[in-house]
Each structure stands twice: as C-alpha cells, then as structure tokens.
Structure 1
Amino acid sequence: MNSPTPALDEPTPWAAIRNGVLAGVAMLALLLPPGVPGPASASQVMAPLAPAPLRMADLGDADASSDLRHMANWIANSGDHAAMPFVVIDKRAARLYVFDAQARLLDHTPVLLGSAHGDDSVPGIGDKAIADVRPEERTTPAGRFKGQRGLNIGGEDVVWVDYDAAVSMHRVRAIVPKERRLQRLASETADDNRISYGCINIPVAFFDAHIAPTFSVQRAMVYVLPEQKTLQTVFGVQAPEPAQAERAHGHLAQMIR
C-alpha cells in the first residue's frame, strides 16, 4: 500500500524540525545582549587550526652552509637556546657565528680548530698535559654546550666550551711562528684552519667585540656542528618536512623583500 503524499502546504517532519531550529536561533539572537556573538556555524566550528608560524633565525645576507642555516633555524624555532644568546661553529667551514637571544646574527668570523678530524673528545683528554696529547687526539668535539667565561691554567680569560675536555674558545695566540695561525685565519680557504689541540681560536678583535661581551654577564649556548656525524645523530635535528621547508622559503622571501 502506498504512503499518502503530503499536501504542498503541509510541512514534512524534517521541514518541521528545520523550522523549529531556525525559530530557536532567531529567538536566541533576540535574547542575547548587544555585542555578544551568536552561536558559531558548523563551518566555523569545524574550521582547521592554522599551522603555527615558523620562527626563523635572521642570518641576513651572511654566507652560510645549509647545515648552519638549518641548525640556526631549528634553534630559533624550538627555543633550545632557552632565550639565551648562542654561538654556532661550523667545523666544515671553520667559521663561527654569534647570535643574540632573538636568533639574530650579530657577526661571524673564521676560526682555527683541532688539527684532527672527528666529532668526539678522547676520554680523559682534559687530564693530559699538552705535550702528551697525540696528533690524532686533537679534535674539537661536536655537540651542545653551555659556555661559561673563566680562566685557563695560564690566567687568560677564555670561554669554556667543555671544561672536562679542556676545550675552550680563546683569542688566537701567534706564539709559534711556523704554525702561521694568523695567516691561516686570513686565508680564503678553510683547508688550513686545522691547527689547534682542540680549542677554538678566534681573532682577537672579534673575541673582544663579540665573544667576551656575550659571555660576560650570563651563560650562552655553544653549538659545534659535526663534520663526520649528522645533525640528527648529534642534536636530534631532522631534515625539514616539505611543507615546513616551503613555509620557511616563503618566510625568507618576505624578509628579502
């Protein structure tokens, strides 16, 4: 038996429900005080949240490797530096970059590093006399360190990177002429910047202008990039996702404009 067909002017059950909802919304709108927003629509409730904007390090027009840029951006975006100034040392490029607490590059400079390639300090190296450190043990360790200003055994003010391993940042010392440390710093290539026992040698003027003030009243972070290991192995930093890289590229393009 066929069901009766409703008359055109007779509301169906669904039409009655719809009319009732609309009447309720209209009544609620009349009861709400002026300035109070009404109920959100379904499209407003279900709208996806916009992705959080990436915070990028500001390197300006500095010449820097992709690893250096990726690491600096990761530090800025993750807040790993705990709102402190920080230094990043690119061992492959033999170059040091100083950033303020807002991840803005202050300046950069070539540096001298340990003559032995590698990313780890030999266990117990800090207890050895300089004369007893073998050539293959003269590495500048990679990693994340809380730098702190202090004095070395000769009374010189330095910034300790890894105190236990006796690794510090200090002014370059041109004591042994045949080592040509000043000439190595001035050369255009990083190939001859491996000469120290593991410490980071910095040009005197740069140390006095940037390193000493940065570490004079507070501690700051020091990140030494690896030359044999990966950023992920040393710091847990992964390569950016495609969407993240695209947003970062757009952000940088805006900065350039």
Structure 2
Amino acid sequence: MLLGAAVLALAWGPAQGQSSAPPAPRPGPAPRALAQQQQLPQQPTPATPRLAQFGRESASADARRIAQWAFHSGDHRQLAVVVVDKKDAKVYVFSPDGQLQGATPALMGSAIGDHTVPGIGDKPIAQVLPAERTTPAGRFVAEPGTNASGEDVVWVDYDAAVSMHRVRANVKSERRLERLASSTPKDNRISYGCINLPVAFYEKVLSPAVRSTGAVVYVLPETRPAADLFGAYEVPGSAAPVRR
C-alpha cells in the first residue's frame, strides 16, 4: 500500500505542479534578417511626427507634400530623405529629423517619362535610345557604391543603372555646367537617366547624408499625380508659408 501511494504521488505531483525545467529559448533572428537589420542604422521613432523643414527654400507643392508625408507617416524609416523634383529639376536633402541640409538644381534624363525600360541597365550607354533616357519615378533606398569607371556614386536604382553623381562636363557641346547654372529648369533635361549634381553638393551634402544615416529617395513623377504614386496624404498644417 505504501509503495503504491508513493508511486501515485510521484506520478501526480509533476502533472499538477509548475515544471521546474527552464523554458526553451526563443529562436533568434535568422542570420540574413539580422544582417538586413544592421545594414541601415535607425533612430528611435519620435513620439510626435516630425515635418520637413524647408525654411526659406522655395519648393513646388508636390515636393513639399511628399516630403511632409514621408516624415509625418514615418515612411522614411528614420533615415535621411532625398526628394527629386523632376519638373523643377531640383533636389532636396533632409536629415532624419526633417532639417533641410541643402537644395540644388540638378540635371535629369532627357526623355519625359516615369517608367524604366526593361533591360536598360544591361545596355551599353551608346545603345540607349533617346526615348529610353528617362529618370524613373518612385521610392528608392539609396545605396552608396561605385560605377563602372570606379567613381563613387549614390545608386538610386542599381538594376536600371540610375544613380546620383557629380556632374560631368566631358562633352562641351552638352553644356552641362551652364545648364545647372541657368535660372530655368527647362534646359536641365540632358542625361541618360542619371541625376547629375553640382560637385560641391554631391560631396558635402548628398554623399555624407547617405553614408552616415542611409536615405530614402523619392523621385517625383511627371506624368501622374505624385500623391497617387506614393499613396501620400495631405499633412494637416503643412501648407507652404505665404511670402510677403
């Protein structure tokens, strides 16, 4: 009898009491996922949504709308924000907290359009047709790298061979420096699709921003509403100030 009771006690006790064995450890992130998390440093999400601070810099309604939405919605993932306004041929760079780091005229693809021609990135540049020289619109995560000549660039769309880089004045007849210096955006469509920037702006503003915090690039469309492309909404209280 005593032996039977002892056996029952042993069988009953562990089933009713809390197990003393330590819980199994949770699986950690997969190595690939962990590597992706470490690629771009992220800052803590602010309690109050930030807005893009244009200051006294002039900007189109679309550029303001998309920049404000990117910060207000958190779509920029706490990275720097680069807004490329193709219609105005202008580029804006913001720090992750919304402060404008600089703005500059830029040269864009000579062809009007927001699409990417399939296979364009694999074509020798001499074979790119005039109608194919578009600067594609969309949201891109900037990637610092080098081009085929070994020059450091900021890739916008690596597969399509579209980057942001220093302006090159190798062909005098193209007058790229003069186009950048002109007061109108109408003559800024000259490239094969890449976004050409003044050397000082690339080296002192864009490249440091991308390399230090990472950046999301918003290339605004020219054939459809920008808000439709990005799914952006109007941020309350973000209207442009009235200039007197």
Indicate the TM-score class for this superposition, using the shorter chain for normalisation: 0.7 to 0.9
Q: Offset at 1:196?
A: 0.2
Q: Which residue of 1 aligns with 2:148?
A: 153
Q: Does the alignment pair 1:63 with 2:52?
A: no
- Give SS of 2:229's match: helix
TM-score (norm 2): 0.77
Once the two structures are TM-superposed, the CA of residue 216 in structure 1 deviates from its matched residue by 2.0
Match of 1:181, as an amino acid? R
Amino acid at match of 1:191: K
1:230 alignment partner, one of 225, 232, 236: 225
TM-score by length of 1: 0.73
Deviations 1:191-223 (A, max 9, x none): 000000000000001111111211223421111
Partner of 2:99: 104
> Unaligned stretches of 5+ in structure 2?
1-46
The code of the aligned residue for 1:221 comes to V
Pick aligned residue for 2:190 from 195, 215, 236? 195
137 and 162 in structure 1: CA distance in 2 versus 1, 3 angstrom threshold:
same
Aligned residues of 1:168 and 1:200 also touching (Cα < 8 A): yes
The alignment partner of 1:222 has SS state of strand
Counterpart secondary structure, 2:185:
coil
Cα shift readout 1:82-113 (whole Å, capped 9, x = no counterpart): 11111100000000000000111111000000
User: 1:111 touches 1:203 (CA, 8 Å); kept in 2?
Assistant: yes
In the TM superposition, structure 1's runs of 4+ consecutive aligned residues that sit over 6 Å from their partners are none
- Aligned residue number for residue 6 of structure 1: none
Alignment match of 2:81 (pick from 55, 80, 86):
86
Q: Distance in 1 between matches of 2:94 and 2:126?
A: 35
Residues 54, 248 of structure 1: 8 Å contact kept: no
Larger RCO: 1 or 2 (CA < 8 Å, sep 6+): 2
Residue 86 of structure 1 aligns with an amino acid whose one-letter code is V
Q: Distance in 2 between matches of 1:77 and 1:119?
A: 25
Q: 1:53, CA displacement in angstroms? A: 6.8
CA contact (8 A) 1:116 1:139 kept: yes
The residue that corresponds to 2:132 in the other structure is 137
Q: Which amino acid aligns with 2:71?
A: A
Residue 98 to residue 64, structure 1, CA distance change in 2 (3 Å): same
**C-alpha separation in 1, matches of 2:80 and 2:241:** 22
**CA deviation after TM superposition for structure 1 residue 232, in Å:** 3.0
Is contact 1:118-1:140 (8 Å) kept? yes
Report the alpha carbon displacement of residue 224 of structure 1 after superposing the two structures with TM: 0.3
Asked if the contact 1:138–1:197 (Cα under 8 Å) also holds between the matched residues in 2, the reply is yes
Are 1:98 and 1:107, in contact at CA under 8 Å, matched by a contact in 2?
yes
Secondary structure of 1:149's aligned partner = strand
Q: 1:94 to 1:157 in 2, by over 3 A?
A: same
Residue 13 (structure 1) aligns with? none
Deviation for aligned residue 1:233? 2.9
Structure 1 unpaired stretches of 5+ = 1-51
Q: Which has the larger radius of gyration?
A: 1
Are positions 1:220 and 2:219 aligned together? Answer: no
Distance in 2 between the 1:136 and 1:220 partners?
A: 29
* Matched position secondary structure for 1:191: helix
Structure 1, 137-146 or 210-219: larger mean CA deviation: 210-219
Report the AA paired with residue 148 of structure 1: E
**Please, what is the CA RMSD of the aligned residues?**
2.0
